[in-house]
């Protein structure tokens, strides 16, 4: 079983596979997770440990082709700052497809203003501060 990381950009996927980030990003990671999953590579950078990176499947995906995505039974999907590039109808179609990939109780996180009036009978809105999120109900 793997967690999926998709992007339309091959350079972004290469960067994600390397798992190297600026140390300032560590401040957003709780200390127990930092100790367990991060290792220093320089004075300015850290890397996500191999054990965790190997659990992630990286694949190129354009949201226009989301119906053909190789994912199933996902716990969490972040789709932020992408839907703004599509018209209202396409946004709803994309989000419906993303919702289909979720496990029961799986969460879909969208950009705060990207699709405010979306409804899906299998999803319930979840309240998080400054976040638009839905949970799969069935």
137 band by pLDDT with thresholds 50, 70 and 90: very high
Per-residue pLDDT at 2 exceeds 80: no
CB 125 within 8 A of CB 92: no
Q: How far apart are CA 16 and CA 58, in angstroms?
A: 8
Residue 68: the pLDDT is 81
pLDDT in tens, 86-117: 998 999 999 999 999 999 999 999 988 888 78
Q: How far apart are CA 79 and CA 68, in angstroms?
A: 17
Domain borders along the chain are 3-53, 62-136
Share of the chain above pLDDT 70, in %: 99
CB 107 within 8 A of CB 93: no
Fold classification of 62-136 is Rossmann fold (3.40.50)
User: Counting Cβ atoms within 10 Å, is residue 11 exposed (0-12), middle (13-18) or buried (19+)?
Assistant: exposed
Round the average pLDDT of the chain to a whole number and report it: 90
The whole model's pTM is what?
0.76
19 band by pLDDT with thresholds 50, 70 and 90: very high
Residue 99: the pLDDT is 93
Q: What are the structure tokens assigned to 21, written together?
A: 């980030």
Mean pLDDT of 44-59: 92
Per-residue pLDDT at 57 exceeds 70: yes
Contacts 24+ apart (CB under 8 A), 90-94: 90/64, 91/115, 91/118, 92/118, 94/63, 94/66
1 against 96, higher pLDDT: 96
Residue 49: the pLDDT is 96
Residue 1: the pLDDT is 61
């Amino acid at each position: 079983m793997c967690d999926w990381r998709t992007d339309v950009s091959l350079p972004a996927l290469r960067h994600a596979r390397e798992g190297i980030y600026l140390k300032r990003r560590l401040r957003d990671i709780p200390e127990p997770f930092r100790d367990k999953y991060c290792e220093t590579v320089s004075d300015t950078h850290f890397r996500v440990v191999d054990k965790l990176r190997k659990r992630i499947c990286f694949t190129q995906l354009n949201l226009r082709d989301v119906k053909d995505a190789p994912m199933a039974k996902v716990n969490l999907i972040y789709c932020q700052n992408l839907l703004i590039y599509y018209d209202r109808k396409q946004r709803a179609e994309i989000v419906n497809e993303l919702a289909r990939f979720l496990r029961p109780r799986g969460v879909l996180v969208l950009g705060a203003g990207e699709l405010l009036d979306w409804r899906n009978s299998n999803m319930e809105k979840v309240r998080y501060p400054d976040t638009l999120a839905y949970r799969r109900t069935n």
